[in-house]
């Protein structure tokens, strides 16, 4: 494949480049620290969701190319494992600095391919950067335990890398989620094969460039593209020991099950339906702003989007004000100044979202605010080759009941679903009966109510007057119920994230002192006293 090797185009995936010259760029695989063009026969077309311009293409990488990535990682592993922790840490420091320096460029790539607003894309980068920054503190995070267990005998634990590991990422956080995987995996001594979403591969191309510049040796970081066939290759490849997956339940449950069958570790963060209980004693202004921001930010395409509220008692009267605030949000292309809500990822996503809104209407709910068929001012229709852009304006559905499809299914769009109950306990029961359990929030001024909610709610991440309680990487991302596969035993980042990427080795040693007496005969029975 030497003939296919290219250096990365410094303008690649830069927004300005695309604006001046909308020639689409083909994403290359990143194997052995080289950008390698794929000889793929099928390609995924990536359109700027705001304009429908074709901006890039991602290859369905061939099996031979995927094998080359695995071989590169396998070859790199022994030396990388033997590289001192301090040396690995130094490379992480450089990587973190480079991500900071290229922050705007990464964010621009996100807005271009994924559609979220530029300001929000910068937050996407930050939340990934924080995981990389935390990985720099690895020298105090990977220490084992040691105990004198008997005379001259001690037991100690080590955490060793697994070998070649993989990360499979969703479209909605093109930087944050690759950086949930890469830093903890490589700083602990593994080599990673990272597969970005085929819907927005550009940010990972920049990450590849920065990883090489930071000094990761060839093979430690490999990036491959593709859809389900790439995922199947990763599952079936015996050299890959662990898979970190973030995405939908459909794909994640399949990967978890098939990965486990192949004896792999799999961590899988899945879909969500995050609720807030809104009590009438809450600070109304704070609650309304928090709900509107968390429901419609990123056009609702966050796994921790606050997509459902349960108003308790008189809090129901706040719905018109929530609708007024939501109506005020500016819907436009993500690069346009002052945009609050960008487009959704694709025309198919728009159709699915609008169909779910229609189903709510048919099932007897009320459409309090209807954002279907929205066409932003900033983009005259001539800019769109589509009959309708993939833009959905904020939509609020009230009088929803738990049986309705709009409540049962993850909408993953700028749609807030509203249910109503009379008491806090009814709200808790309703939320607990939902099969997802990523996050839940409560808005109240009552410490007792907040405490009661926190103790009794079945969600992995709970916010008390905090709409999107995603913990910083000193903690872990702890989804629950159907929002994580296999009960979410080892969650992403934080201590469990490091445990996921390492194997515990427990060593018991006996170094006999000169003055100790030697055993006179072989001990054949298990000790009955210590
Ligand atoms: P997706 O499942 O469609 O895609 C995720 C990855 O899986 C992609 O890399 C894709 O190539 C691969 N994939 C898709 N279908 C596959 C199949 N049939 N077989 C094998 N691989 C397949 O998810 P998405 O639409 O990109 O992301 C949105 C979803 O991700 C939402 O459900 C959202 O809640 C979830 N998400 C969860 C978290 C979390 O931490 N819980 C974070 C972000 C996103």
- pLDDT at 15 (0 to 100): 56
Ligand 1 centre and the CA of 170: distance in Å? 4
d(CA 41, CA 55): 19
From the candidates 136, 204, 303, 418, which is the catalytic residue? 303
Find the helix or strand (DSSP H, E) in which 45 lies. strand 43-47
CA distances from 3 to 35, 36, 72, 93 (A): 11, 9, 17, 33
- Percentage of residues in the chain having pLDDT higher than 70: 92
What's the pLDDT score for residue 22? 62
Predicted confidence at residue 1, as pLDDT, reads 33
Q: What's the sign of the alpha-carbon dihedral 416, 417, 420, 426? A: negative
- The reported pLDDT for the residue numbered 447 is 98
Q: Is 154 exposed, middle or buried (0-12, 13-18, 19+ CB in 10 A)?
A: middle
272 close to ligand 1 (CB < 6 Angstrom)? yes
3-class DSSP state of 165: strand
Q: Encode pLDDT of 180-239 as tens digits.
A: 999 999 999 999 999 999 999 999 999 999 999 999 999 999 999 999 999 999 999 999
Predicted pLDDT at 493: 97
Which whole-number Å values give the CA distances from 358 to 343, 369, 388, 415, 509, in the listed order? Answer: 19, 13, 17, 12, 68
Under the banding of pLDDT at 50, 70 and 90, the label for residue 434 is very high
pLDDT digits (tens, 9 = 90+) for 14-63: 555 455 556 789 999 999 999 999 999 999 999 999 888 899 999 999 99
Q: Is 181 marked active-site?
A: no
251: pLDDT strictly greater than 70: yes
pLDDT digits over 120-137, tens only?
999 999 999 999 999 999
Q: Residue 21 has what pLDDT?
A: 56
Q: How far is the CA of 215 from the centre of ligand 1 (A)?
A: 30
Residue 125 C-alpha to ligand 1 middle, in angstroms? 19
Report how far ligand 1's centroid is from the alpha carbon of 439 (Å). Answer: 18
Per-residue HEC secondary structure of 212-268 comes to: HHHCCCCCCEEECCCCHHHHHHHHHCCCEEEEEEECCHHHHHHHHHHHHHCCCEEEE
The pLDDT of residue 11: 41
Average pLDDT over residues 85-104: 98
The minimum-distance atom of ligand 1 relative to the CA of 247 is: 30
Please give the residue that has the higher pLDDT: either 11 or 497.
497
In degrees, rounded to 5, the angle at the alpha carbon of residue 317 between the alpha carbons of residues 312 and 321 is: 120
Identify the three-state secondary structure at position 376. Answer: coil
Is the minimum distance from the CB of 168 to ligand 1 under 6 angstroms?
A: yes
More confident residue, 517 or 421: 421
Mean pLDDT confidence for 153-174: 98
pLDDT band at 5 (very low <50, low <70, confident <90, very high): very low
How does pLDDT run across 369-411, given as a tens digit for each residue? Answer: 999 988 876 565 434 445 556 889 999 999 999 999 999 999 9
Minimum CA distance residue for ligand 1 atom 19: 228
- Provide the pLDDT for residue 436: 98
- Classify residue 322 by its DSSP letter: H
Mean pLDDT of the chain: 93
**pLDDT range class, residue 516, cuts 50, 70, 90:** low
With a 6 Å cutoff on the Cβ, whether 172 touches ligand 1 is yes
Q: Of the residues 123, 225, 251, which should be mutated to test ligand 1's pocket, given the most ligand atoms within 8 Å of the CB?
A: 251
CA distance 424 to 190: 47
Say yes or no: CB of residue 246 within 6 Å of ligand 1.
yes
Report the pLDDT averaged over residues 411-438: 98
pLDDT greater than 90 at residue 424: yes
Distance 252 CA to ligand 1 centre (A): 7
pLDDT score for 3: 36
Summarised one tens digit per residue, pLDDT across range 139-159 is 999 999 999 999 899 999 999
Expressed in angstroms and rounded, the spacing between residue 466 Cα and the centre of ligand 1 is: 26
**Integer CA distances (angstroms), 21 to 6, 28, 55, 109, 440, in order:** 20, 19, 10, 15, 44
pLDDT band at 7 (very low <50, low <70, confident <90, very high): very low
Q: Write out pLDDT tens, residues 105-119.
A: 999 999 999 999 999
Does residue 198 have its Cβ closer than 6 Å to ligand 1?
yes
- Pick from 44, 230, 247, 298 the residue to mutate for probing ligand 1's pocket: most ligand atoms within 8 Å of its CB: 247
Asked whether 356 and 404 are in contact (CB, 8 A), the reply is no
Taking a C-beta distance cutoff of 8 angstroms, is the pair 208, 90 a contact?
A: no
pLDDT bracket for residue 519 (50, 70, 90): confident
pTM equals: 0.95
Lowest-confidence region among 16-30, 340-354, 485-499: 16-30
Bridge-partner residues for 58, per DSSP?
A: 44
Query: From atom 3 of ligand 1, which residue's Cα is the shortest distance away?
Result: 248
């Amino acid at each position: 494949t030497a003939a296919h090797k290219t250096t990365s185009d410094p303008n690649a995936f830069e927004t300005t480049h695309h604006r001046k010259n909308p020639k689409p760029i083909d994403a290359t695989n990143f194997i052995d620290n080289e950008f390698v063009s794929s000889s793929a026969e099928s390609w995924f077309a990536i359109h700027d969701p705001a304009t429908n311009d074709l901006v890039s293409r991602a290859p369905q990488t061939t099996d031979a190319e995927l094998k080359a990535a695995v071989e590169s990682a396998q070859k790199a592993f022994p030396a990388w494992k033997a590289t001192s922790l301090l040396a690995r840490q130094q490379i992480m420091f450089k990587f973190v600095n480079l991500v900071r320096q290229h922050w705007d460029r990464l964010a621009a790539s996100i807005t271009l391919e994924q559609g979220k607003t530029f300001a929000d894309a910068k937050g996407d980068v930050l939340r990934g950067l924080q995981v990389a920054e935390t990985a720099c503190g690895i020298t105090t995070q990977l220490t084992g335990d040691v105990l004198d267990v008997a005379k001259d005998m001690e037991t100690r634990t080590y955490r060793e890398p697994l070998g070649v590991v993989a990360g499979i990422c969703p479209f909605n956080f093109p930087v944050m989620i690759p950086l949930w995987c890469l830093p903890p995996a490589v700083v602990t001594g593994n080599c990673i094969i990272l597969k970005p979403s085929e819907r927005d591969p550009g940010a990972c191309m920049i990450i590849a460039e920065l990883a090489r510049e930071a000094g990761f040796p060839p093979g430690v970081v490999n990036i491959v593209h593709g859809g389900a066939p790439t995922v199947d290759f990763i599952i079936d490849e015996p050299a890959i020991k662990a898979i970190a997956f973030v995405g939908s339940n459909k794909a994640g449950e399949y990967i978890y099950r098939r990965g486990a069958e192949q004896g792999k570790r799999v961590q899988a963060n899945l879909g969500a339906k995050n609720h807030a209980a809104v009590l009438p004693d809450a600070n109304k202004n704070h609650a309304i702003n928090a709900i509107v921001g968390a429901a419609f930010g990123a056009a609702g395409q966050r796994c921790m989007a606050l997509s459902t509220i349960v108003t308790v008692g008189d809090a129901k009267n706040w719905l018109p004000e929530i609708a007024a605030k939501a109506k005020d949000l500016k819907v436009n292309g993500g690069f346009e100044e002052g945009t609050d809500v960008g487009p959704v990822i694709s025309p198919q996503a728009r159709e699915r979202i609008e169909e779910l809104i229609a189903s709510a209407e048919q099932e007897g709910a009320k459409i309090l605010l209807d954002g279907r068929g929205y066409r932003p001012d900033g983009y005259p229709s001539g800019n769109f080759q589509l009959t309708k852009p993939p833009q959905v304006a904020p939509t609020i559905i009230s009088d929803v009941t738990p049986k309705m499809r709009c409540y049962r299914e993850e909408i993953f769009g700028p749609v807030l679903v509203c249910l109503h109950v009379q008491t806090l306990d009814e709200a808790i029961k309703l939320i607990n009966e939902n099969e997802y359990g990523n996050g839940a929030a409560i808005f109240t001024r009552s410490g007792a109510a907040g405490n009661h909610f926190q103790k009794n709610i079945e969600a992995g991440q709970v916010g008390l007057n905090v709409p999107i309680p995603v913990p910083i990487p000193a903690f872990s991302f702890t989804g629950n119920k159907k929002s994580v596969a296999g009960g979410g035993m080892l969650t992403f980042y934080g201590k469990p994230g490091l445990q996921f990427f390492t194997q515990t080795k427990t060593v018991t040693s006996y170094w006999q002192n000169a003055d100790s007496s030697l055993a006179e005969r072989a001990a054949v029975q298990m000790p009955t006293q210590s």
